[in-house]
Structure 1
Amino acid sequence: MKNNWIKTISLLSLAILSLGMGSRMLSQTEGLDSKGLKDAFEGKFLIGTALNGAQINGRDQQSIELLKANFNSIVAENVMKSGPLQPEEGAFNFSSADKFVDLGESLGLHVVGHNLIWHSQAPGWFFVDEEGNEVSKEVLIGRMETHIKTVVGRYKGRVDGWDVVNEAILDDGTWRKSKFYEIIGEDFMKLAFQFAHEADPEAELYYNDYSMALPGKREGVVKMVKKLQEQGVKVDGIGMQGHIGLEHPAIEEFEKSIAAYSGLGLTVIITELDMSVLPSPGRNTGADVGTNFDYEQSINPYQEGLPDSVRQKFDRRYVDFFKLFLKHQEKISRVTFWGIADQHSWKNNWPVRGRTDYPLMFDRNYQPKSVVNALMELVE
């Protein structure tokens, strides 16, 4: 009888102990579930994302919940570009841009404006007069000044940093022959940064471009920035667009560019990060939005989902890049993904419209992919 009582008490004690351990394990699991990417990389660099119009205007609340949990910096994907902001001369439309900045402030996020001067998505009127003739250098400079100072001035003290000029250097390091360059010359770069600084002296100012790991572009950007610095122009950072693939660019070349840009005394920002898993229809497509190829079934192989072998390669490639970012965390201030979930990515329609790509951290059901856990484990 005594032995039975002892056995009963032992079993009860074990059950109580097990319940306690289970409770602690549940608590630990809940803690892991509540930890997002921004928490994992806290103290190393900011984790940002681009927001589209539906998210900014409150039509995609699932994305906003992921934003709150995983990101501490936001950038406007399209609503702050010159075309949407000033479709007609002097007729500014700040509706969505205001909501973007309001959202960032309400959530206590680091806010980035994208972008002030870009040859693409600029309104057609910017470069011509009422009769359709190309404007003079003086007129275009005036329009640049008005646009930049109106936009930056409106959000003075509220936007932390601006992509002042976007994609002005070609892959070989020469200047892109945009209308800004053809009409004004190289000085359009200097003037853009000067106007932005005059409008908000406290905001950080960045140059942003794609294919920044290419040796030719690296040399061209370094040369351009050095000249600006010699002229006393305020430049705070270099945005290295991270439109990468499973095979390109070489991580070694990416690392060389981080070193080269930080060697200018500037912060390096990994911007527009996404990883396409789809075959490229052409060589050296970079990220030029003007590049387009015809649809073919053979270059859209994963319409029904991503095979495990490709997913594993995707995860390893992202982890390798984040190992690089962590290695150079003292040089890098922010890593920003170009979207939240796969269905939002521009890669579904570029450079071939109508494909199914998987370039981001969250799937089409707003669920974290295995790569999210892999990145968090990398830090922990």
Structure 2
Amino acid sequence: MRIHVVMMAAAGLGLSAMPALAQATLKDAFKNRLLVGVAVRPHQFTGANATQAALIANQFNSITPENVMKWDALQPRENEFHFEQADRYVDFGTRNGMFTIGHTLVWHSQVPGWLFKDAAGNPVDRETLLARMKKHIQTVVGRYKGRVKGWDVVNEALEEDGTLRQSPWLKIIGEDYLAKAFQFAHEADPAAQLYYNDYGIEGGKKRDGAIALLKKLKAAGVPVTGVGIQDHVSLTWPPATMLDETITAFGQAGLKVMITELDVDVLPARGHNTSADVSRNEAADPALNPYTNGLPANVQEALARRYAELFAVYLKHPGVVTRVTLWGLCDGESWLNDWPIRGRTSHPLLFDRACKPKPAFQALVAPRR
């Protein structure tokens, strides 16, 4: 990676004149600076789509599973673990020498109905839920000890105002459920990196809440390696200065920073909302889906400048920002096609619907000229 090229791109200089870089790779462009990862789906890591599998192996040196390691996929019924897909995911990462991530151990969403209830359908007590958490975490982390290098241990535990989310985990166990989750994961694999992961923590009260929470956990000796800033962003939010300040603040708190779910939404929205809560569901409106026939050249250029701007910020923090993961490989498979409005045609990633590199990709891998 040549930082001056990124800064040129961020300033809007000559993206259309950049050469087609068919042989350039993201992992080589950022070698010795950042791991560059991608969220993957079963048809990619099983080889069902050999073209996409080859593209992932060629371009990236880290992977994260979109869904196959979430609780409802791994343990849909109590004490009944389904590891086939997760095993194949980890095998893919191992074969290709990738830094393999586990996502995610404790979350309020995508959990099976039995988790928080007893046989009569009533909420379980603290001791029962702690035992279930411990068994799940230690079974899963223990199975992949030494192969999965980092875990999103707790996901999205904060409300928009920076207070703890009123999830069943908090209501049944109490605030120490976070510390317990990290403890159980560390016991299962003491060498694994352990992360807290969240959206919307690039600024404001939620960022302040995340910093306070993580400082408190670290002061108590909880083995937190770092924080995952999801970075589901738009063309204008967060401003580069805000993101820079946030990474600085987390670094000063003694935390590594991972950009864990990066995508850039180019579609118009109803007002300003930084929430990436999966439960959001808005009504369709053709005015909010303007690029059904492809992305216009001026928007392609804006997207390229935005990606260049973001990576320029990440590179300002060597040793703090250690990994950037794109949340999806190609535009056609992005979750933003169905969130927060179903059926839209979204264009948030580095590869288009045919999995061909976009100008944004070229802005990141362009060599020194």
Give yes or no for TM over 0.5: yes
Q: Does 1:292 align with 2:281?
A: yes
For residues 35-87 of structure 1, give each alpha carbon's deviation from its aligned partner in whole angstroms, at most 9, with x where no partner exists. 20110100111000000122123222121111122100001110000011000
Equivalent of residue 351 in structure 1, options 340, 347, 354: 340
Q: Percent identity?
A: 49
SS of 1:127's partner is: coil
Q: Is the 8 A contact 2:202 2:231 kept in 1?
A: no
Q: Distance in 2 between matches of 1:282 and 1:342?
A: 23
Q: Is the 8 A contact 1:53 1:78 kept in 2?
A: no
For residues 219-262 of structure 1, give each alpha carbon's deviation from its aligned partner in whole angstroms, at most 9, with x where no partner exists. 11111111111211101011000101112112211111101111
Structure 1 residues 221, 285: closer, same or farther in 2, change over 3 A? closer
Q: Distance in 2 between matches of 1:369 and 1:125?
A: 44
SS of 1:217's partner is: helix
Give the structure 1 partner of residue 115 of structure 2: 126
Structure 1 gap segments, 5+ residues each = 1-28
Q: Is the 8 A contact 2:194 2:223 kept in 1?
A: yes
Give the structure 2 partner of residue 205 of structure 1: 194
SS of 2:114's partner is: helix
**Structure 1 segments (4+ residues) deviating >3 Å:** none
Q: Distance in 1 between matches of 2:94 and 2:175?
A: 35
For residues 138-182 of structure 1, give each alpha carbon's deviation from its aligned partner in whole angstroms, at most 9, with x where no partner exists. 111111001100000000111000000000012211010000011
- 2:122 partner amino acid: N
Q: Does 1:233 align with 2:222?
A: yes
Q: Does 1:364 align with 2:353?
A: yes
Q: Is the 8 A contact 1:41 1:379 kept in 2?
A: no
Equivalent of residue 164 in structure 1, options 153, 173, 180: 153
Give the structure 2 partner of residue 61 of structure 1: 50
Q: Does 1:80 align with 2:69?
A: yes
Structure 1 residues 87, 216: closer, same or farther in 2, change over 3 A? same
Question: TM-score scaled to structure 2, two decimals?
Answer: 0.92
1:41-52 alignment runs, 5 A limit: 41-52=30-41
Q: Does 1:304 align with 2:300?
A: no
Q: Distance in 2 between matches of 1:367 and 1:60?
A: 15
Give the structure 2 partner of residue 100 of structure 1: 89
- 2:315 partner amino acid: L
Higher relative contact order at CA 8 Å, sep ≥6: structure 1 or structure 2? 2
Q: Distance in 2 between matches of 1:147 and 1:298?
A: 45
1:169-180 alignment runs, 5 A limit: 169-180=158-169
- 2:354 partner amino acid: N
For residues 316-340 of structure 1, give each alpha carbon's deviation from its aligned partner in whole angstroms, at most 9, with x where no partner exists. 1111111111111331110000011
Structure 1 residues 379, 265: closer, same or farther in 2, change over 3 A? farther
Q: Is the 8 A contact 1:119 1:180 kept in 2?
A: yes
Structure whose alpha-carbon radius of gyration is higher: 1
Q: Distance in 2 between matches of 1:365 and 1:295?
A: 25
Q: Distance in 2 between matches of 1:208 and 1:249?
A: 17
- 1:185 partner amino acid: G
Q: Distance in 2 between matches of 1:308 and 1:119?
A: 40
Q: Is the 8 A contact 1:56 1:96 kept in 2?
A: no
Q: Is the 8 A contact 1:56 1:99 kept in 2?
A: yes
| Root-mean-square deviation (Å) | 1.4
Give the structure 2 partner of residue 155 of structure 1: 144
Q: Distance in 2 between matches of 1:145 and 1:133?
A: 21
- 2:184 partner amino acid: F
Shift of 1:379: 7.1
Q: Distance in 2 between matches of 1:48 and 1:147?
A: 26
More helix per residue: 1 or 2?
A: 1
Shift of 1:281: 2.7
Give the structure 2 partner of residue 262 of structure 1: 251
Give the structure 2 partner of residue 192 of structure 1: 181
SS of 1:49's partner is: strand
Q: Distance in 1 between matches of 2:127 and 2:367?
A: 53
Equivalent residues, number: 351
Give the structure 2 partner of residue 8 of structure 1: none
Structure 2 gap segments, 5+ residues each = 1-18
Which segment drifts farther, 207-216 or 58-67?
Answer: 58-67
Equivalent of residue 340 in structure 1, options 326, 329, 335: 329
SS of 1:43's partner is: coil
Which segment drifts farther, 184-193 or 259-268?
Answer: 259-268
Q: Is the 8 A contact 1:281 1:293 kept in 2?
A: no
Q: Is the 8 A contact 1:40 1:379 kept in 2?
A: no
Structure 1 residues 325, 144: closer, same or farther in 2, change over 3 A? same
